[in-house]
Amino acid sequence: MDENALILDASRGDLEAFNRLVLAYQDILYNQAYRIMGDKDSAEDATQDAFISAFRHLSTYRGGSFKAWLLRIITNICYDELRRRKRRPTSPLEPLDDNDEEVESPSWLSDPGERPEEAIERNELSNAIQLCLGNLPIEFREVVILVDIQEMDYAEAASVIRTPVGTVKSRLARARVRMRDCLQKHRELLPASIRLMGESKV
């Protein structure tokens, strides 16, 4: 069954049809939430809330990219949560060990199928990227996540954040420059391959 038919059935209250859409998009939404929020638990909560909200407001979907519509919902949910946290800060981004110190390579980022050195390198890079993403202003962060991590084109990204394509273009350029500067500041977190490449060319 194609996506439009599933959306139509879901909008008529067919929960099974909607759940098939959930299975198709849950990785994308979770990934978006994880990159914006920076931690797994918040990303899970945001993803679940996004799908609940999407089902309840399916009547407001007016065609176009369903993926973009879902990403807009989860991005807004993440914003709301970040704003709430800003008003009432609670927990640090990194998990804490027994001595209340941040764990640099948390075990929840690891993939059990990897070799240890690969896992370490990937985790270091992932940490560095997540750290730098977290330092970006939210409007830059969302654009860089949509274009460079979700690999959307400018028009799609513009439809998600409801801004002109020109705004996406300028925000993305500034976000990439900031990411570059940030990654250079945290060179020790980068894997050797990236570090050497940066030294020779940047």
Partner 1 sequence: MTTPITPRDWEFLSAYLDGELKDKEKKLLEDRVREDDKLRLSLESLQHVRAVLRSQPIQRAPRNFTLTPVMAGMDKGRSQAAPVFRVMRLASVLATIFLVVISVGNLLANRMQPVQVSQTFAQQPAFGMGGGGGGGGGSESEESLSVPEALQVEEQITSEVSDMAADVLQVEPLPAGTESELKAAVPNPTPTPQPPVESLRKAPEAGQPLEAESDEIDGAQTKASTITFIGGLQIILAILAITTGVLAVYLRQSTR
**CA pair distance 169, 39, nearest whole angstrom:** 27
Sign of CA dihedral 123, 103, 108, 23: negative
If the CB atoms of residues 53 and 65 are measured against partner 1, the closer one turns out to be 53
**Which residue has tokens 């007016």?**
62
Beta bridge partners of 102: 96
Site of interaction with partner 1 (CB under 8 A): 13, 15, 18-19, 22-23, 26-31, 34-35, 40, 43-44, 47-48, 51-52, 55-56, 122, 125-126, 129, 144, 147-149, 151, 153-154, 169-170, 172-174, 176-177, 179-180, 183, 194, 197-198, 201-202
Backbone dihedral angles phi then psi of residue 127, each to the nearest 5 degrees: -65, -45
Q: In whole angstroms, how close is the CB of 73 to partner 1 at the nearest point?
A: 13
Q: In whole angstroms, how close is the CB of 66 to partner 1 at the nearest point?
A: 16
Q: In whole angstroms, how close is the CB of 87 to partner 1 at the nearest point?
A: 27
**CA pair distance 158, 139, nearest whole angstrom:** 12
If the CB atoms of residues 86 and 145 are measured against partner 1, the closer one turns out to be 145
Contact call for residues 167 and 159 (beta carbons, < 8 A):
no
If the CB atoms of residues 72 and 176 are measured against partner 1, the closer one turns out to be 176
